[in-house]
Homo-oligomer: A and B are copies of this chain.
Amino acid sequence: MEYTEKKPPLQEALEKFRVLDEKITHYSSLIGLADWDQKVMAPKKGRNVFAKAAGSLKTEVFKLSVSEEMGSLLETLSEQENESVLDVVTKAKVREYKTFYQKSKSIPADLFQEYAIITGQANDVWEEARDGNDFAKFLPYLEKIVEYKRKFAEIYGYENHPYDALLDEFEPGLTVEILDPLFAKLRESSINLLNRIQQQGKPTRHEIFEQSFPIDKQKEFNRLILPLIGFDLEAGRLDETVHPFAQSVNIGDVRLTTRYLENNVRSALFGTIHEAGHGIYEQQINPEFEESVLQSGTSFGIHESQSRFLENMVGRSKEFWTYFYPRLQEHFPAQLANVSLDEFYRAVNSVSPSFIRVEADELTYNLHIMLRYEIEKGLIAGEIEARDLPEIWNRKMQDYLGITPSTDTVGVLQDVHWSFGGIGYFPSYSLGNLYAAQILRTIEKDLPEFKSHIENGRFDVIHGWLKEKIHQYGKLYTPNELIVRVTGEELNADYLVEYLEKKYSEVYGLEEK
């Protein structure tokens, strides 16, 4: 029959795939809201039972994502993919689901179950171990988790290094082969720069931040600047939590949190700007991708580049404070009356080695990350034993930062990541800085008035550029595709190295290298 009314299988598959994608995205939206709510709003007595309710829906999302229906749709659509009959949007959706499907399907159910039980218990154990400075308590769990992660890496497969299989979960396509030289260059130059700052640097007035900054005034200032720097409060919220985060419910509903500390005005200020960077990315995604898997940022590293770009490249620039410092002084006249703009700018960019990653400055932060990267890589390769971590940690801290943690609590036990199995996650943070510096170089070329836009509060121009080049695409492009599209080349550490060198030479009055 030439004229059949029966839909061709491809059309049918496309429609079924659209419906399934929409359903999964809808449920994920509800889960995102529920997670936000439990951290920000929920009264404590209901949380345990609610976790089970949210767990039911998470299980359903997982089941739908690895269902037979999904499998056969991905098969049908992947075949078509090669023949380029699918549009790029559908191809990107197929790519996203296929990666998850294949990884999830590849792990035998009982292995995954064992792993889920261990990571389910490990968080509490880690918290106790950290609070009691008792690495031995956490060690058996860490050993198990590393063991499972090594097994997963073998199952997922890799070309050169088993850690590649884990990196890929957070930054698709990233490998040790790519990362090692990038980090080597960054490590060397960062240590060198840090030494020069410590030896020749002109002191900053960082102690101005040790004054008391009343919290209600801090809140006022944070609420004042949030919309001015480009976050749309009609499509989002700002609340408070101990650990700040950004959570997208959908493109029109992106929720940030920050943390106010009376004796540390920087905490909320740069926390808010950082999370706003994540938030503006989510708010500027193409509405056509809404209700689909493409409706959020493309990778951990690219997401982090947007938060770091706004926090550091914009938010810690001289131009930013040229615009905002008079307003900050109005809010805190007693604290800042005798602090000049230049002194304030230099204080904001104080560099000082410290034990805790999340409190580290822009320069030393990457050294914290590289230390973790090297440890993770060694654990997964079987070259490092988990039991040796306290010693290795402290030695590397001494080598890179010149300080040795007084306890494991402020050393190897400080981060939550390993307890939930997030091995491969840490590099994202420094990737964010690397991407951000490379993007900065491009935007400065595209917008020669970049600095004066900041100085004049024209953040709309900057976000317009980011939207056009990056944000609108959501998950359409992989991180590597995106950075090449935006900047014309693969990730290159030179930009961050040069940026740090230039900025901190100026801040600390260093001689030319």
Contact = CB atoms under 8 A, between A and B. Distances in A.
A27 interface: yes
B26 A250 contact: no
Contact of A26 (B25, B52, B232, B234): B52
A54 interface: yes
A6 interface: no
Contact of A43 (B30, B37, B43, B237): B237
A290 B51 CA distance: 13
B236 A43 contact: yes
Interface in A217-272: 232-237, 249-254
Interface in A413-467: none
B41 A41 contact: yes
Contacts of A252: 43-50
A84 interface: no
A253 B43 contact: yes
B34 A53 contact: no
Contacts of A232: 45
B233 A49 contact: no
Contacts of A33: 33-34, 37, 50
A275 interface: no
Query: Which 7 A-B residue pairings sit nearest by Cβ, starting from the closest?
Result: A46-B253, A46-B252, A45-B252, A26-B53, A26-B56, A45-B235, A29-B53
A250 B30 contact: no
A57 interface: yes
Given A30-B34, A33-B34, A53 B234 contact: no
A206 interface: no
Given A45-B253, A49-B291, 15 more contacts: A22-B56, A26-B55, A26-B57, A30-B34, A41-B41, A43-B233, A43-B237, A43-B252, A44-B234, A45-B234, A45-B252, A46-B252, A46-B253, A47-B252, A52-B291
Contact of A56 (B23, B34, B47, B54): B23
B30 A53 contact: yes
A249 B236 CA distance: 23
Contact of A235 (B34, B43, B54, B251): B43
A42 interface: yes
Interface in A52-111: 52-57
A290 B30 CA distance: 21
Contacts of A49: 29, 250-253, 290-291
A69 B290 CA distance: 33
Nearest to A233: B43
30 contacts: A26-B53, A26-B57, A27-B56, A27-B57, A30-B30, A30-B53, A33-B33, A33-B34, A33-B37, A33-B50, A41-B41, A42-B249, A42-B253, A43-B233, A43-B235, A43-B237, A43-B253, A44-B234, A44-B252, A45-B253, A46-B249, A46-B251, A46-B252, A47-B252, A47-B253, A49-B250, A49-B253, A49-B291, A50-B250, A53-B291
A46 B235 contact: yes
A288 to B, nearest CB: 12
A183 B42 CA distance: 41
Nearest to A56: B26
